[in-house]
Amino acid sequence: MLQKNYKKTRRRKAGKKIVMESVGIRELKTHLSSYISKIRKGQRIIVTDRGKEVAELVPISKERRLVKKIVEKGLASWDGKKPVGLTGVTIQGKPLSDTVLKDRR
C-alpha cells in the first residue's frame, strides 16, 4: 500500500486543470511498480528531492508508439537519435526566412 507521503499539485494547461501527483525520491523507489502502473494509465508524476521538483514522469507519447510500430514492421529505420536533415534535396527560389523577414517590414 502506498504511503500518503505525496501531494497532488494542480496546473493549468490550455484552460484545463491538470492534477499531478508529487512524490519524493525515497517513496518513489520504495513503490516504483505502483507509480509505473499509474503512469501506464496516463497519469503524470512529479518527482521531488527535499521538497523541490526535479523531474516529471510521463507516459510514452502516441507519436513515439507509432514510430516504434513503423520501425518494427520494417517500414522505416530509426536509431533513436534526433533525425538528420534530408540529403540530396535542392530548394529553388528564395529562402523562406527572407520571405518572412520581408513580410514583417
What's the burial of 59, exposed, middle or buried (CB within 10 Å: 0-12/13-18/19+)?
middle
Q: pTM for this one?
A: 0.57
pLDDT tens digits along 29-79: 999 999 999 999 999 999 999 999 999 999 999 988 888 898 888 888 878
Q: Which domains does the chain have, with CATH numbers?
A: 1-79 (3.40.1620.10)
